[in-house]
């Protein structure tokens, strides 16, 4: 019997976590082999590796403890990879040389797949004097554009998908431009943006007082705090960005506030980190720990939870020693503080099994109880590790116990820390778990509500056909197994039907016992008023959250299909002419100028490379020949045929823009895909788009769709019902949804955040 409860779970394992050799052949023959590989690798630093290997395996078995994807995929492989998920880079110096040194470090980190965060508040504002060069500063946003281009370049080179977080203080003179930066749909696409909101600013907002925008002790502007707050709110209401981070609260509550200052987070916001801070992630699957679900005796076994948390803490502490790091500064930071981020997944499913409605008062209280139990077990386990292996190097008992979070801990735990120290400076965090939740049988993600109880997923088969399969939420499947066709009770609510303040209440209850932060999306209805929307953020502030991320579907954030403006039509030929005679083929010069383009079509194993060479006639460049190449042998015959046919047409001269039109009109009956924000109906249409962009770049065409009798892109986008969510850039299926701060595909698990 397979351990996987759903086909999608096995597909996720095979695609993302299963160890394969250089030829793509499986080295892990089963998921048990994957668990054994990870358990063995994390136990090798122990004095009794065999004992701890078995205990670690037991924690992994049946998806009870879910290390983050980098640990599952990288541990025990012998590869030079980082097992850490989250990085905040060094403080950016306010100098050209320092800025580009930081850019290099970011590139090296992203090359290994690390998501990174940066605070751009340290760069002087636009227009500020640059002494010694008689020039004005270009400001932090201009350098964010450079980072954005770097990230796109790293991705195009075949690296793992990267994500970046950019933060800026609410008192920086360029904060208004930062707030509006992503309203330009072509700008900063590789960044998530968040404003660092201070306590003083929130007090000024409530008092409707003035607010100084300053840098280096100089006040550049003074604005009304409430006006600036409304600009932040309006941007996120309309565009879903920027997010809000309550930075003073983060630093006040930080166990390490005596040793570090936090000014940025990782891309999804659950890890506020100091310069060069690094954190690894893992989640306890609460849905697997519920006994007698959907009965009057249902409960989450507290003894099993305590044992699992303690084992997970030990495993994650060992990862600090087992992992590689992109930069030596990151390794030093991790070793000095031994920070880990243990969280949960399956919370909403566990509540359902106990008959509790997500967001209701009893569910909020149960969440608080569970999260406190996890925090106690984690901290006590770390104290035990300190007795055995030593406290983290920067531990100072008096200062550590004086932190805001530690003041909330029970007296017996505080006494244990004072007496024995603690191994890990921070221990808890709630990270996005979209992919590992699918891998674990489609349990609810993190502390999010269930988004959809069931949906149909189209699966691409090896022969190119597609089959449909139902993907069912873990708790719903358990209900069906136990109750048959009995209707779901009223307490089965989902993200679409919940009131936004129910989301806030759940986030605040969990945050009370999480020492880092939480990745959580508060779904708001499209018709929520602007005033009610602002109240969500004020409630998050008042209830003690460390940040707030919302998602309101609208024409900007949720639109999928759009029709381009009516294109210019090419001059019409004489309607009476049935045949157009072509000239003789043009002779090929000995040398031609051209360009090569890389095209990665979602779902295709190998990239396609398109080389277009031009000839100069009358002082103007025009396409002369095309070469199309791919390592995929299935493409060989048609790429050769396409190369020869298009080149033959190009060499005849005349208006060859119809080639673009014909290619863009080719539709694949198996479905197209979304590439860089636009729907492309087939690989051939994508090739047509590449040729069109080349023609525009060389001046042969005036613009996209211009010079064509019709723009097939516009026609396909106008057809059909509007889907519930955007199409996935990886698999092409519609229904992308915002979960835990990331646009996530329910069909294949793709997430823009990694």
Sign of the Cα pseudo-torsion (650, 653, 659, 660, in order): positive
Exposure class string for 348-378: b at 16+ Cβ within 10 A, else e: bbbbbbbebbbbbeebbebbbebbbbbbbbb
Mean pLDDT of 47-67: 97
What is the DSSP code string of 215-272? ETTEEEEEEEHHHHHHHHHHHHHHHS--EEEEHHHHHHH-TTTTT----EE-TTSS-E
Of 345-354, 515-524, 546-555, which has the strongest mean pLDDT?
Answer: 345-354
Please report the pLDDT score of residue 745 as a whole number: 74
pLDDT range class, residue 322, cuts 50, 70, 90 = very high
Q: How far apart are the first and last CA of the chain?
A: 31
pTM above 0.85, yes or no: no
Give the distance, in angstroms, between the CA of residue 146 and the centroid of all CA atoms in the same chain: 20
More confident residue, 591 or 353: 353
Cα–Cα nearest to 658, from 531, 569, 541: 569
Q: Say if 485 falls within a structural domain.
A: no
pLDDT range class, residue 199, cuts 50, 70, 90 = very high
Residue 689's domain comprises 593-718
Q: Which residues are catalytic?
A: 266, 268, 270
Q: Say if 609 falls within a structural domain.
A: yes
Range name among 306-320, 389-403, 489-503 with the lowest pLDDT average: 489-503
Of 235, 253, 271, which one is at a domain's C-terminal end? 253
- 719: CB partners within 8 A, 6+ apart: none
Range name among 175-184, 318-327, 670-679, 712-721 with the lowest pLDDT average: 712-721
Spatial separation of the C-alpha atoms in residues 163 and 612, rounded to whole Å: 32
Spatial separation of the C-alpha atoms in residues 171 and 119, rounded to whole Å: 13
Please report the pLDDT score of residue 22 as a whole number: 84
**Among all chains, which residue has been given the structure tokens 């008959």?**
355
Q: Say if 197 falls within a structural domain.
A: yes
Please report the pLDDT score of residue 186 as a whole number: 74
% pLDDT > 90, the chain: 59
Of 227, 253, 279, which one is at a domain's C-terminal end? 253
Angle among Cα 476, 478, 482 to the nearest 5 degrees reads 115
Task: Provide the phi-psi class of 216: left if phi over 0, else alpha when psi is between -120 and 50, else beta.
Answer: left
Number of domains within the chain? 2
Mean pLDDT of 738-752: 70
pLDDT range class, residue 99, cuts 50, 70, 90 = very high
Q: Say if 284 falls within a structural domain.
A: no
Please report the pLDDT score of residue 228 as a whole number: 98
Cα–Cα nearest to 149, from 190, 115, 109, 108: 190
Spatial separation of the C-alpha atoms in residues 649 and 657, rounded to whole Å: 10
More confident residue, 271 or 639: 271
More confident residue, 631 or 194: 194
What is the DSSP code string of 139-172? -HHHHHHHHHHHHHHHHHTTPPP--EEEEEETTS
CA distances to 19, 60, 81, 257 from 37, rounded to whole Å, are 9, 11, 15, 37
pLDDT range class, residue 527, cuts 50, 70, 90 = very high
Please report the pLDDT score of residue 227 as a whole number: 98
Please report the pLDDT score of residue 586 as a whole number: 63
Which spans in 79-215 are helix H?
96-111, 140-156, 175-180, 199-207
Other C-beta atoms lying within 10 Å of the C-beta of residue 205: 22
Average pLDDT, the chain: 86
Of 202, 237, 253, which one is at a domain's C-terminal end? 253
Please report the pLDDT score of residue 753 as a whole number: 59
Is the pLDDT assigned to residue 390 strictly greater than 70? yes
Q: Say if 196 falls within a structural domain.
A: yes
pLDDT range class, residue 581, cuts 50, 70, 90 = very low
Cα–Cα nearest to 58, from 36, 42, 74, 43: 36
Is the pLDDT assigned to residue 733 strictly greater than 90? no
**Among all chains, which residue has been given the structure tokens 């590790």?**
385
Is the pLDDT assigned to residue 648 strictly greater than 70? yes
Which spans in 7-95 are helix H?
7-12, 31-43, 49-60, 69-74
Please report the pLDDT score of residue 636 as a whole number: 77
Please report the pLDDT score of residue 163 as a whole number: 80
Q: Judge whether 139 and 127 are in contact, CB under 8 Å.
A: yes
Is the pLDDT assigned to residue 345 strictly greater than 50? yes
Spatial separation of the C-alpha atoms in residues 362 and 256, rounded to whole Å: 33
Q: Say if 509 falls within a structural domain.
A: no
Q: Say if 671 falls within a structural domain.
A: yes
pLDDT range class, residue 647, cuts 50, 70, 90 = confident
Spatial separation of the C-alpha atoms in residues 120 and 179, rounded to whole Å: 13
Structure tokens at 253: 């509550």
Cα–Cα nearest to 525, from 496, 503, 502, 504: 496
Cα–Cα nearest to 273, from 378, 117, 71, 109: 117
Please report the pLDDT score of residue 593 as a whole number: 81
Please report the pLDDT score of residue 605 as a whole number: 67
Q: Say if 318 falls within a structural domain.
A: no
CA distances to 17, 93, 416 from 460, rounded to whole Å, are 19, 48, 55
Please report the pLDDT score of residue 571 as a whole number: 31
Please report the pLDDT score of residue 318 as a whole number: 97
Each residue of 683-699: pLDDT tens digit? 888 999 899 988 888 88
pLDDT range class, residue 717, cuts 50, 70, 90 = very low
């Amino acid at each position: 019997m397979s351990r996987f409860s759903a086909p999608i779970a096995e597909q996720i394992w095979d695609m993302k976590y299963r160890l394969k050799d250089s030829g793509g052949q499986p080295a892990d023959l089963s998921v048990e082999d994957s668990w054994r590989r990870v358990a063995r690798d994390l136990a090798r630093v122990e004095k009794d590796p065999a004992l701890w290997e078995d205990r670690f395996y037991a924690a992994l078995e049946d998806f009870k403890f879910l290390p983050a994807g980098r640990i599952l995929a990288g541990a025990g492989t012998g590869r030079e990879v980082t097992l850490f998920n989250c990085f905040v880079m060094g403080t950016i110096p306010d100098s050209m040389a320092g800025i580009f040194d930081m850019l290099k470090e970011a590139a090296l980190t992203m090359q290994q797949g690390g998501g990174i965060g940066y605070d751009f508040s340290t760069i002087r504002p636009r227009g500020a004097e640059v002494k010694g060069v008689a020039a004005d500063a270009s400001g932090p946003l201009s350098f964010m554009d450079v980072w954005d281009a770097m990230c796109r370049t790293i991705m195009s080179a075949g690296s793992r998908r990267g994500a970046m977080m950019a933060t800026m203080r609410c008192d920086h003179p360029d904060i208004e431009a930062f707030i509006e930066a992503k309203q330009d749909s072509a700008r900063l696409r590789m960044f998530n943006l968040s404003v660092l909101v201070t306590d003083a600013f929130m007090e000024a907002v409530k008092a409707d007082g003035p607010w100084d925008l300053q840098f280096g002790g100089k006040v550049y502007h003074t604005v009304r705090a409430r006006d600036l707050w409304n600009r932040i709110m309006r941007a996120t209401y309309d565009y879903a960005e920027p997010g809000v981070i309550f930075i003073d609260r983060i630093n006040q509550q930080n166990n390490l506030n005596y040793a570090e200052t936090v000014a940025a987070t990782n891309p999804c916001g659950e890890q506020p980190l100091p310069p060069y801070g690094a954190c690894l992630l893992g989640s306890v699957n609460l849905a697997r720990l519920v006994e007698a679900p959907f009965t009057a005796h249902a409960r989450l076994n507290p003894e099993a939870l305590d044992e699992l948390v303690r084992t997970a803490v030990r495993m994650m502490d060992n990862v600090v020693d087992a992992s590689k790091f992109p930069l030596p500064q990151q390794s030093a930071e991790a070793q000095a503080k031994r920070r880990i981020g243990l969280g949960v997944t399956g919370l909403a499913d566990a509540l359902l099994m106990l008959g509790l409605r997500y967001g209701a008062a009893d569910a909020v209280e149960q969440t608080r109880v569970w999260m406190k139990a996890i925090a106690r077990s984690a901290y006590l386990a770390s104290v035990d590790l300190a007795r055995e292996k030593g406290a983290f190097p920067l531990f100072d008992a008096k200062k550590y116990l004086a932190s805001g979070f530690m003041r909330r801990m029970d007296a017996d735990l505080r006494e244990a820390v004072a007496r024995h120290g603690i191994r890990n400076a921070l221990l808890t965090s709630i990270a996005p778990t979209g992919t590992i939740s699918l891998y674990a049988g489609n349990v609810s993600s993190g502390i999010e509500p269930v988004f959809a109880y069931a949906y149909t997923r189209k699966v691409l088969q090896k022969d190119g056909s597609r089959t449909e399969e139902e993907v069912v939420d873990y708790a719903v499947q358990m209900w069906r197994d136990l109750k048959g066709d009995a209707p779901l009770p009223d307490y089965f609510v989902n993200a679409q039907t919940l009131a936004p303040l129910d989301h806030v209440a759940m986030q605040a209850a969990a945050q009370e016992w999480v020492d880092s932060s939480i990745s959580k999306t508060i779904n708001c209805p499209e018709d929520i008023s602007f005033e009610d929307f602002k109240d969500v953020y004020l409630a998050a502030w008042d209830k003690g959250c460390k940040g707030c991320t919302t998602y309101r579907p609208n024409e900007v954030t949720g639109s999928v299909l759009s029709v381009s403006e009516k294109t210019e039509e090419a001059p019409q030929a004489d309607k009476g002419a049935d045949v157009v005679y072509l000239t003789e083929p043009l002779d090929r010069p000995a040398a031609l100028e051209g360009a090569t383009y890389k095209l990665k079509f979602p779902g295709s194993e190998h990239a396609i490379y398109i080389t277009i060479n031009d000839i100069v006639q009358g002082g103007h460049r025009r396409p002369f020949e095309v070469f199309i190449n791919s390592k995929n042998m299935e493409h060989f015959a048609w790429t050769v045929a396409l190369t020869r046919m298009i080149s033959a047409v190009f060499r005849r001269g005349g208006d060859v823009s119809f080639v673009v039109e014909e290619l863009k009109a080719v539709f694949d009956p198996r479905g197209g895909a979304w590439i860089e924000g636009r729907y492309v109906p087939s690989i051939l249409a994508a090739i047509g788009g590449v040729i069109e962009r080349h023609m525009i770049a060389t001046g042969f065409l005036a613009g996209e769709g211009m010079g064509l009798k019709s723009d097939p892109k516009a026609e396909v986008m106008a057809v059909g019902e509007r889907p519930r969510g955007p199409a996935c850039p990886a698999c092409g299926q519609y229904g992308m949804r915002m979960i835990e701060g990331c646009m996530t595909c329910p069909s294949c698990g793709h997430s823009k955040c990694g």
